[in-house]
Structure 1
């Protein structure tokens, strides 16, 4: 699927280059959930080796009803709920390994007691601590994957914070409490460098360094973060100060990002001017005058828009005004799209940009699920449905089924 997305974007740019904003330079946004999956999968061999004893013990318990019954007897005696079956991980789903470890940690005392009674190999206390550390490590990536996989609310403005969280997990010594986590972080960092890490490698040979030290993050996602009124330019400085090696690099990257913002603002201004020029003028013939109240409201709206345009011409641009104002307070229930909707009169150009940039999904999970759903509805034995009916069934399923918390649907390898 990622390869198909890349090919589709290349074809779009090839044949519709001049119809796209800035010739489609930032059209292709990689699926963040897929990249997160790749990062963790690179370290799964290390993880599997570190938790091998726990997995084998769980397999032993789950291998027969009698053994499971013995396990449940011990669990009941210790005040824990009984199990109908033991959760085991699947090789190509790293989050299944995390779920297995969560379950194993909960029944740690039961598993140790069971192993002692059955004379099975039991993980040592050090191995349990190692598994607990791996579990916490994977939990962070599970939460990040659910964040980027959400598809019923905007996610593009969360991209830079997600990158910082990943870097924190891989670079902060506080996370790396065991040698296995240090090794795991090193393997995953190599993959992170390939996709998202803009930090300059001072120790690399000059001919191996990136030709341009422009950040290798998609500019569209950087702009989406900039268009979050809680972050703006301040967060760009904060982000680059975390990932760049010196202050000069920080300032350079922020200037590059703001230059792209200005270029897109000019593009949207041209689009707005073209739209106004070709819009149908109001009829000057015989018209029916509505109620005075309706007319007054309309005039007030027009006056508000006129004031906004006049101020932008006489004083400063929308972009300058947006930058000069203080950032909004960061609350859990903050609605970024709602804020731009309310600010559309004040920032007509930036609000149009926000609608487009904040609509960029960070993950292709939702679209892949839609295609999978279509394949199940229009199968080999039921292939005569009209396209309209297929579309109606797919949409109805999506509208009727709203996952709790808008969570992701899993992460396949």
Structure 2
């Protein structure tokens, strides 16, 4: 069983550890320093540690580029429509030339890279127990607008799917064939009551046996249906 669990963990870890690395970099208490420290303790080979850090760092640059490109496209569309109307109305060649220069500067702009570099070059935030990372990004979003958008999306991803899978399993046991017409409020009440009852059982030192409880429920409903 343990070997099967480890294989499953390794499978998903290969797919998501890059995003988790990005999340660690976007934590101002760790940034690249925290990532390098953790990998140095995991990897025996320093070169492998460097490759892993660079891979996640490259993922940050790619995300920045993608987010910045989407932002630039939306702003360019609105600006170009306004500028085009002005050029057509005034028929002024100087206005068209100014638009051309502005677009050329944007192509040369390295805003995405410098924003990330400025962020990682700053000192890390002290490790305090009451640190609120969402509040920090809300305040510092003015300085790092693109990184703020990435942090908003990254930190919204649940770390584990255990809670959602457990909810689906619990609801599947409640909404069975003999309970197919239950109202959604009734289902919610049953699920909450189950959690509260098991919580009280835990406080008394008991160890809930969900499998036995579910089998008892099924047996009870089979008897009532007969």
Whether contact under 8 Å (1:265, 1:349) holds in the other structure is yes
Matched residue of 2:178: which SS?
coil
1: CA distance between counterparts of 2:36 and 2:173?
47
Matched residue of 2:181: which SS?
coil
Aligned to 1:369: 166
Aligned to 1:342: 139
1:95-140 deviation line (CA, Å, top 9, x unaligned): xxxxxxxxxxxxxxxxxxxxxxxxxxxxxxxxxxxxxxxxxxxxxx
Runs of 5+ unmatched residues, structure 2: 80-108, 200-207, 211-226
1: CA distance between counterparts of 2:17 and 2:189?
30
Aligned to 2:20: 221
1: CA distance between counterparts of 2:15 and 2:186?
40
**How big is the shift at 1:374?**
2.8
Matched residue of 1:360: which SS?
coil
**How big is the shift at 1:235?**
1.1
Question: Equivalences for 1:169-180 in 2 at 5 Å?
Answer: none
2: CA distance between counterparts of 1:365 and 1:193?
14
Whether contact under 8 Å (1:318, 1:347) holds in the other structure is yes
- Does 2:71 match 1:272? yes
Matched pairs, number: 168
Aligned to 2:51: 252
Distance change >3 Å, CA 355–CA 194, structure 1 → 2: closer
More helix by share: 2
2: CA distance between counterparts of 1:322 and 1:267?
18
Aligned to 1:211: none
Whether contact under 8 Å (2:29, 2:125) holds in the other structure is yes
2: CA distance between counterparts of 1:375 and 1:217?
28
Distance change >3 Å, CA 233–CA 216, structure 1 → 2: same
Whether contact under 8 Å (1:373, 1:394) holds in the other structure is no
**How big is the shift at 1:275?**
3.8
Q: Which moved more, 1:267-276 or 1:341-350?
A: 267-276
Distance change >3 Å, CA 267–CA 392, structure 1 → 2: farther
1: CA distance between counterparts of 2:77 and 2:186?
35
1: CA distance between counterparts of 2:63 and 2:8?
28
Aligned to 1:356: 153
User: Relative CO higher for 1 or 2, CA cutoff 8 Å, sep ≥ 6?
Assistant: 1
**How big is the shift at 1:367?**
0.7
Question: Equivalences for 1:60-139 in 2 at 5 Å?
Answer: none
- Does 2:115 match 1:318? yes
When normalised by structure 1's length, the TM-score is 0.34
1:186-211 deviation line (CA, Å, top 9, x unaligned): xx9xx479718x9xxxxxxxxxxxxx
- Does 2:38 match 1:239? yes
Whether contact under 8 Å (2:175, 2:187) holds in the other structure is no
2: CA distance between counterparts of 1:271 and 1:247?
37
**How big is the shift at 1:391?**
8.0
Whether contact under 8 Å (2:171, 2:191) holds in the other structure is no
Residue from 169, 172, 175 that aligns with 1:378: 175
Aligned to 1:390: 184
**How big is the shift at 1:217?**
5.8
**How big is the shift at 1:270?**
1.6
**How big is the shift at 1:243?**
1.8
When normalised by structure 2's length, the TM-score is 0.59
